[in-house]
Structure 1
Amino acid sequence: MESVKHAGDAAVAVSKAYGVETMFTLSGGHVFPLYDGAVHEGMRILDVRHEQSAVFAAEATARLTRRPGLAVLTAGPGITNGVSGVATAHFNGSPLVVMGGRAPQSRWGSGALQELDHPPLLTPITKLAFTATGPESIGQDVELAFRTAIAPHRGPAFIDFAMDHLFAPSPEHPAETQTPSPLEPDPDGVAAIARLIGEAERPVLVLGSDVWMDRAEEAARDFAEAWRLPVILNGQGRGILPAGHELLVTRARGQAFGEADLVIVVGTPLDFRLGYGWFGGKNGNPLARVAHLADAPSQLATHMQPAASAAGDLSVVFWSLNTACGEANVKPGRYAPWTARLAETARAATAADAELLAADSDPIHPMRIYGELGKILADDAVVIGDGGDFVSYAGKYVEPKQPGNWLDPGPYGCLGTGLGYAIAARLARPSSQVVLLLGDGAAGFSLMDVDSLVRHGLPVVMICGNNGIWGLEKHPMQMLYGYDVAAELQPQTRYDQVVTALGGGGELVTRPSEIGPALGRAFASGVPYMVNIATDPQIAYPRNTTGV
């Protein structure tokens, strides 16, 4: 069997076979052979300033391209610095492979630099975490990591390599990718869901991120349109029905979830974002029945009992459900008045927002920022949210025109994803606008990686909603205790000057009339550019406590 120069070559060759184009990393001697392998294989190496950004960039690459992302982390603190990124990928179901360095096996147990047994730390937040057994098997071991990451339900896999093994000669491994076969849903479960739709008078269809990740967005839209179901979009499902679509009723979410008699949730867990699966019960209505559809049985709800459920490849699920609805003689006219009522509520909510989206108040109302941003966003823009209150407004007022173009931390809620996500978005969508929305709290986690944007020539528009507080904490503490602690930041901190000091561009905006022109300059600049906007700290994003 022909040998390559070292085990790093074998690892990178397998990665390329699984569609990896970029290795995200922060330099470390334990993983030099992986860099050398990337050079030999012509793989891009993109280095960042903190390992968390490398993992976030790899995770976002997976979410945007629907191919596995790759992060390479050096031993010890390199890996522990990346743990939050791996946990985020775990909660998002992102197909991510993290390769780690490891102290030499020949010195194991004698106190080598950064000697730490990593897999036990990663096991709870990965599908698989293990140490490669030796240089002769590294190709097979890396292939196992990728196969595991992309199999339903997708998620992160971790593999580390003893330093002496990674530098050693390794046999070439045939780079033949193995993709999982589509999982067929249980026909009885599909038929049961079709019957529920046929019986419903107030159904709602929720489409989540896994619809996008399963490449089922067209099947989902065809299904919704065929049976005239009102639709609410969640996560990367946003854009499956574009803004303005007659069936899109996300702006009527409260009424839809409060009055529905059937909620069909597809491709997202019944977690806190969806009231843990408890719908209905408002205005004298009984609790709604729930149908849950997922890409794998492991993702079906277990904390409550849905009225019906099915798991499988989500395109196949929608095709099967389409046929089953025909066989069940579903008649959309039965719930057409409900769909029309939700559409009217959504239109009224949009109209009611017009005043605040154009508000001239001083200090600036956060909604004015989104009013100006909406005028300049292209249909294929990638919008990234990293923050609390400020990004909550984005979730409400930024309606993508296309699926797969919205990124936020997801249910794990980890701040600091923004710069890594922005790096990935600029690489994955080189001709699209890339907009990073930062709260001023979130900016403190990763702003140094503007240096990575500058060094690698990656223009991104950053908009910082700067209210000088931890808004998501300050206002609730005031409500609970009548005071707040540990919730203040410096008002009007010049985050824009941090960006300019690192080689980008930026400016501070303090008046509403300045927002639009500043955004225009940012998009025209061709460099990483921050529009740092001072907003009113007294305004809190309106929330309820039920999640619906």
Structure 2
Amino acid sequence: MTDTEAVPGTDAGDGDDGLTGHGGEHAVAAFRAHGIDTMFTLSGGHVFPVYDGAVKAAEPLRILDVRHEQSAVFAAEATAKLTRRPGLAVLTAGPGVTNGVSAVTTAHMNGSPLLVFGGRAPAFRWGSGALQELDHPPLLAPVTKRAATVHETERIAADVSDALTLAATPHRGPVFLDVPMDVLFDRGSAPAPVPARIAPVAPDPDAIDAAAALLADARHPVLVLGHDVWMGGAEDAARRAAETTGIPVVANGMGRGILPRGHELLASRARAAALGRADVVVVVGAPLDFRLGYGVFGGRDGTPPARVVHLTDGPGQSAPGGGAPAVSVRADLALALDALVEAWARKAAPRAYRDWSAEVQGAARTAYQSDRALLDAGGDSIHPVRVYGELLRVLDDDAVVIGDGGDFVSYAGKYVEPARPGGWLDPGPYGCLGTGLGYAIGARLARPAAQIVLLLGDGAAGFSLMDVDTLVRHRLPVVMIVGNNGIWGLEKHPMRSLYGYDVAADLAPGTRYDEVVRALGGAGETVAAPDGIAPALARAFASDVPYLVNVLTDPEAVYPRSTNGV
């Protein structure tokens, strides 16, 4: 069984008049056919025909130019994450493409649908040392679903259409195509692209029945909802599954918000306790990687390891470190979740997990109460948690919160719980710093009426803050909050613990990142005392411009970290 099936008769050109023009016009026609309305790019001569095609199209494509190619790819990925349709980045040849590789890798690790369309040195000069000549596909192949070169103008539209379909096919991910400069400038005729429909795949009934049997016999089950639940449009099915069964829920990545903050089954604040005592863990739409203890749960207080049921939308989503799950189901996640609940309900006496759920909720309430002092902390220095105490008071339910950083954003992951699905963006398992400004650009376009809040560590800010210029030029208001402790917190404290000293872990204390933003045409201010946070946030949200609140936080505050990944 394959993950998708193309509907017969939907190959490029069926029933259409076709295309005539240069290669850039062919590419833009394919972009438009797949619902893409914006390309993120940094200008380069190798891809000029794509810009020309975008400007002259019957429905012009928005060209949003950035200051670094990685921001273009990150912006395209944010668009993909929030719209659940492929994003598009157009990069010029050579260093234009290689500057985007870390961002492509991030999208690959996140399973985000994305097309990176690259320029390429001319085919007729290949091998003679043309400007920015590089064979890109071998570099991109390990971190994409496909990496290829289009060698004929007449093939551009069809190959771009196929690439976008592949990117959107579960398990989703980035695809890379480059086109030689002479091929892209050349003219030709070709059939107009008509996207293939991606048909959902039904789950194996036997696997579903085996999973339901494990669940029906469980006493301490936990449901883990991951990124692909949102990306696959399975958020309603996931909420139904939780509320029908009464199983406590832990959310990861864009699984956050599927159960809104305050939901009685949301166990994120008691994550370690719930997963530590679990006897069956149903992981949906997330790989069994380090974030989930490599799939090893249970074992607390001498209990045996939990049995794992793993629901994925495609192959290659299981990390090998923890061993094979007891049951694996690969299918459309909404269909799989509904089938699992139906099979669970058919068991002789579906178990109610009220006592277990009450125990987990008690642990969550205890954790919340113990944290109240930090959320409201005063004193001479600013604990990072106090920033989130103030932010939570002013966040709208439809806000998009973006995290780009180490310790500072780790606190956000613990304390900022979205009210709705699709309200949280972070770098994901690859852990690449520098996602922030690109994600903010894409988020502002995808959610034009929502609050967009970018949380930056001061280390992370150094990777992409210049793209505030992009926000300003394109009139994209975003509220940025920098947790400025003057150190690389994820490195300084662990190195001290291991060796008794640290090196290369200090930044300039009190750096005025807000002045950088003002110099680029935005606004901002520095906050040095706890009672200054709330009024600064009020000014930021009221400003309607890119606004950075530079909060000087306590460098001795250390985020507590688990040693087992859960």
Contact in 2 for aligned 1:194/1:330 (Cα 8 Å): no
Among 359, 362, 376, the residue aligned to 1:341:
359
| 1:49-108 deviation per Cα after TM superposition (whole angstroms, max 9, x unaligned) | 000000000011100100000000000000000000100000000000000000000111
Task: Show the counterpart of 2:7.
Answer: none
CA distance in 1, matches of 2:87, 2:189: 24
Task: Show the counterpart of 1:6.
Answer: 22
Task: Show the counterpart of 1:350.
Answer: 368
Task: Show the counterpart of 1:295.
Answer: 313
> Per the alignment, in what secondary structure is the counterpart of residue 550 of structure 2?
strand
* Larger deviation, residues 481-490 vs 352-361: 352-361
Distance change (3 Å), C-alpha of 1:12 and 1:546: same
Task: Show the counterpart of 1:385.
Answer: 403
Among 317, 336, 339, the residue aligned to 1:317:
336
Q: Aligned ranges for residues 269-308 of structure 1 at < 5 Å?
A: 269-303=287-321, 304-308=323-327
Contact in 2 for aligned 1:506/1:522 (Cα 8 Å): yes
Among 12, 16, 21, the residue aligned to 2:37:
21
CA distance in 2, matches of 1:53, 1:450: 11
Task: Show the counterpart of 2:135.
Answer: 117
Which amino acid in the other structure matches residue 24 of structure 2? G
Task: Show the counterpart of 1:424.
Answer: 442
| 1:385-414 deviation per Cα after TM superposition (whole angstroms, max 9, x unaligned) | 000000000000000000111000000000
Task: Show the counterpart of 2:167.
Answer: 149
CA distance in 1, matches of 2:470, 2:76: 14
Among 506, 509, 516, the residue aligned to 1:498:
516
Task: Show the counterpart of 2:9.
Answer: none
Among 140, 150, 173, the residue aligned to 2:191:
173
Contact in 2 for aligned 1:151/1:179 (Cα 8 Å): no
CA distance in 2, matches of 1:330, 1:8: 62
> Per the alignment, in what secondary structure is the counterpart of residue 157 of structure 1?
strand
Which structure 2 residue ranges, 5 or more long, are not aligned? Answer: 1-16
CA distance in 2, matches of 1:274, 1:2: 49
Q: 1:302 offset after TM fit, Å?
A: 4.2
Among 387, 390, 404, the residue aligned to 1:372:
390
Q: 1:173 offset after TM fit, Å?
A: 3.1
CA distance in 2, matches of 1:133, 1:29: 18
Q: 1:331 offset after TM fit, Å?
A: 2.2
Task: Show the counterpart of 1:81.
Answer: 99
> Per the alignment, in what secondary structure is the counterpart of residue 515 of structure 1?
helix
Q: 1:330 offset after TM fit, Å?
A: 5.1
> Per the alignment, in what secondary structure is the counterpart of residue 5 of structure 1?
strand
Among 166, 181, 186, the residue aligned to 1:163:
181
Contact in 1 for aligned 2:19/2:26 (Cα 8 Å): no
Q: 1:19 offset after TM fit, Å?
A: 1.4
| 1:216-247 deviation per Cα after TM superposition (whole angstroms, max 9, x unaligned) | 00011011101111101110000000000011
CA distance in 1, matches of 2:180, 2:105: 23
| 1:101-144 deviation per Cα after TM superposition (whole angstroms, max 9, x unaligned) | 00000111111101100000000000000000211111111112
CA distance in 1, matches of 2:364, 2:75: 35
CA distance in 1, matches of 2:38, 2:19: 24
CA distance in 2, matches of 1:387, 1:268: 21
Contact in 1 for aligned 2:217/2:351 (Cα 8 Å): no
Which amino acid in the other structure matches residue 82 of structure 2? L
Contact in 1 for aligned 2:224/2:251 (Cα 8 Å): yes
Task: Show the counterpart of 1:53.
Answer: 71
CA distance in 2, matches of 1:137, 1:503: 43
CA distance in 2, matches of 1:422, 1:11: 26
Q: 1:363 offset after TM fit, Å?
A: 1.4
| 1:410-450 deviation per Cα after TM superposition (whole angstroms, max 9, x unaligned) | 00000000000000000000000000000000000000000
Q: Aligned ranges for residues 141-540 of structure 1 at < 5 Å?
A: 141-303=159-321, 304-329=323-348, 331-333=350-352, 335-540=353-558
> Per the alignment, in what secondary structure is the counterpart of residue 116 of structure 1?
coil
> Per the alignment, in what secondary structure is the counterpart of residue 299 of structure 1?
coil
| 1:167-211 deviation per Cα after TM superposition (whole angstroms, max 9, x unaligned) | 011224323111321011111111111001100000000000100
| Correspondence 1:37 to 2:48 | no
Contact in 1 for aligned 2:294/2:320 (Cα 8 Å): no
Q: 1:321 offset after TM fit, Å?
A: 0.9
CA distance in 2, matches of 1:199, 1:211: 25
Which structure 1 residue ranges, 5 or more long, are not aligned? Answer: none
CA distance in 2, matches of 1:156, 1:2: 27
Q: 1:322 offset after TM fit, Å?
A: 1.7
> Per the alignment, in what secondary structure is the counterpart of residue 215 of structure 1?
coil
Contact in 2 for aligned 1:92/1:155 (Cα 8 Å): yes
Contact in 2 for aligned 1:197/1:330 (Cα 8 Å): no
Which amino acid in the other structure matches residue 53 of structure 2? G
Distance change (3 Å), C-alpha of 1:227 and 1:113: same
* Larger deviation, residues 356-365 vs 169-178: 169-178
Which amino acid in the other structure matches residue 341 of structure 2? N
RMSD: 1.0
CA distance in 1, matches of 2:177, 2:508: 42
Which amino acid in the other structure matches residue 314 of structure 1? L
Task: Show the counterpart of 1:105.
Answer: 123
Among 143, 156, 161, the residue aligned to 1:138:
156
> Per the alignment, in what secondary structure is the counterpart of residue 555 of structure 2?
coil
> Per the alignment, in what secondary structure is the counterpart of residue 365 of structure 2?
helix
TM-score (norm 1): 0.99
Q: How many residues align?
A: 547
> Per the alignment, in what secondary structure is the counterpart of residue 546 of structure 1?
coil
Identical-residue share of aligned pairs (%): 65
Q: 1:301 offset after TM fit, Å?
A: 4.7
Where has structure 1 moved over 3 Å in runs of 4 or more?
A: 300-303
Task: Show the counterpart of 1:92.
Answer: 110
CA distance in 2, matches of 1:394, 1:423: 20
CA distance in 1, matches of 2:194, 2:234: 25
> Per the alignment, in what secondary structure is the counterpart of residue 469 of structure 1?
coil
Which amino acid in the other structure matches residue 429 of structure 2? P
> Per the alignment, in what secondary structure is the counterpart of residue 297 of structure 1?
coil
